[in-house]
Chain A
């Protein structure tokens, strides 16, 4: 039963190389307030944000313009990948805009790495909620830097295993 419902939920992942954007659209079988809460409260974010088998750990969260979320995605063997999301604009429960960034355990952003802007919108879709995330890089060169970094930092190989796992489960078709 669960599987059937999940299969019907819309999931789009579109890369626009010319505009250097990634657009992710996904439906959720829940009301907008609850989906919004899951994106904006640390205790809820910690329960879903990292892809399996990683887990999420929040170090700091201040959800307001000028505030930021500092968190790690942690592998089963304890390796932590730190990131932060700096909130720029918030319109509850419609949308928020933020700047992502690679950082260290202290929250210091790596200045050599590109930062992408996230525009996340929440809209009603009958009894469901549609979440649209547009990740915008400043240039094609910035995307290339993110790719190069991804290959170096070890998260890529973790994700690659995940990719294979999803393929086996038939989820990426």
Chain B
């Protein structure tokens, strides 16, 4: 843990908190061997999460493009009436 925390320049307890969040989310897993705790990335979950966020982004981008078209046609109707 100390080794992982070093580049971040934060106190170990704060760092542990961040690691705890990542672990609860399933993005990493940690194991204790005696006094040493090691962390490993859960590649599969990480990839699934990233894909889901990308999908969500695509969904909002697409629905808002639909809304652009709708607003344009509604504005057109306004001007036409």
A residues adjacent to B (C-beta < 8 A):
2, 6, 9, 11, 13, 15, 17-18, 22, 24, 26, 28-30, 34-35, 38, 44, 47-52, 133, 140-141, 143-144, 146-148, 150-151, 156, 159-160, 162-163, 166, 171-172
Contact = CB atoms under 8 A, between A and B. Distances in A.
A143 to B, nearest CB: 7
Contacts of A171: 61, 65
Nearest 3 CB-CB pairings of A with B: A51-B62, A48-B66, A159-B55
A57 to B, nearest CB: 14
A29 B68 contact: yes
Nearest to A148: B48
A42 to B, nearest CB: 14
B74 A30 contact: yes
Contacts of B74: 30, 34, 38
Contacts of A13: 56-57, 60-61
B41 interface: no
Chain B interface category by residue count? 20 to 34
Contact of B26 (A26, A35, A144): A144
Given A163-B54, A166-B61, A172-B61, A38 B70 contact: yes
Nearest to A30: B71
A143 B25 contact: yes
B8 interface: no
Nearest to B68: A6
A171 B59 CA distance: 12
Given A147-B48, A156-B55, 20 more contacts: A17-B25, A22-B53, A28-B64, A29-B71, A38-B71, A51-B59, A51-B63, A140-B21, A141-B25, A143-B49, A146-B52, A147-B49, A148-B48, A162-B58, A162-B62, A166-B58, A166-B61, A166-B62, A171-B61, A172-B58
Contacts of B14: none
Contacts of A28: 64, 67-68, 71
12 contacts: A6-B65, A9-B68, A15-B53, A28-B67, A29-B71, A34-B71, A50-B66, A51-B58, A52-B62, A147-B49, A159-B59, A162-B58
